Amino acid sequence: MDTRLSEEIKRLTALGLHRRCVEGDLARVAGLTLEINRLKKERNAVVCAHVYQTPDIILGIGDLVGDSYKLADDCRRTEADAIVFCGVHFMAETAKILNHSKKVYVPSSNAGCSLSEGITAADVRQLKAEHPGLPVVTYINTSAEVKAESDCIVTSANAEKILRRMYERHKAVIFVPDRFMGLNLARALGKIPGKDIFLWKSSCVVHERFQPELIDVYRKKYPGLVALAHAECPSELIKAVDFMGGTGDMMRYVESTNAAAYLLVTECGFGELAKLRFPEKNFIAMCRLCPYMKSITLESVLALLKDPAPREVLVPEAVAAKAKVAIDRMFELAAG
Radius of gyration, CA atoms only, the chain: 20
Residue ranges in 131-174 assigned as alpha helix (H): 144-148, 159-169
Strand (E) or helix (H) holding 86: strand 82-86
Contact between 117 and ligand SF4 by CB under 6 A: the answer reads: no
Give CA separation, 289 vs 53, 56, 270, in Å.
10, 16, 10
Residue 205 interacts with which of ligand 13P, ligand SF4, none, CB < 5 to 8 Å by class: ligand SF4
> Which residue type sits at 196?
D
Among 56-64, 167-175, 289-297, 312-320, the segment contacting ligand SF4 (CB under 6 A): 289-297
Residue 40 CA, chain-centre distance (Å), reads: 23
Report how far residue 210's alpha carbon sits from residue 265's, in angstroms, rounded to the nearest whole number. Answer: 8
Cβ atoms within 10 A of the Cβ of 283, count?
A: 17
Interface residue with ligand SF4 among 8, 210, 292, 313 (CB under 6 A) is 292
Residue 250 CA, chain-centre distance (Å), reads: 12
Contact between 273 and ligand SF4 by CB under 6 A: the answer reads: no
Q: How far is the CB of 331 from ligand SF4 (least distance, A)?
A: 21
Cβ atoms within 10 A of the Cβ of 191, count?
A: 18
Angle of the 89-98 helix axis to the 317-335 helix axis, nearest 10 = 90
Return the DSSP state at 45: E
> Which one, 205 or 261, has the nearer CB to ligand SF4?
205
Residue 185 interacts with which of ligand SF4, ligand 13P, none, CB < 5 to 8 Å by class: none
> Which one, 12 or 58, has the nearer CB to ligand SF4?
58
Among 72-80, 111-119, 241-249, 321-329, the segment contacting ligand SF4 (CB under 6 A): 111-119
Residue 292 interacts with which of ligand 13P, ligand SF4, none, CB < 5 to 8 Å by class: ligand SF4
Contact between 267 and ligand SF4 by CB under 6 A: the answer reads: yes
Report how far residue 51's alpha carbon sits from residue 68's, in angstroms, rounded to the nearest whole number. Answer: 9
Residues 218-257: x where in contact with ligand SF4 by CB under 6 A, - otherwise, as a string: --------------x-------------------------
Interface residue with ligand SF4 among 53, 114, 158, 184 (CB under 6 A) is 114
Contact between 204 and ligand SF4 by CB under 6 A: the answer reads: yes
Q: Point out which residues bind ligand SF4 (CB under 6 A).
A: 88, 113-115, 141, 204-206, 232, 267, 290, 292-293
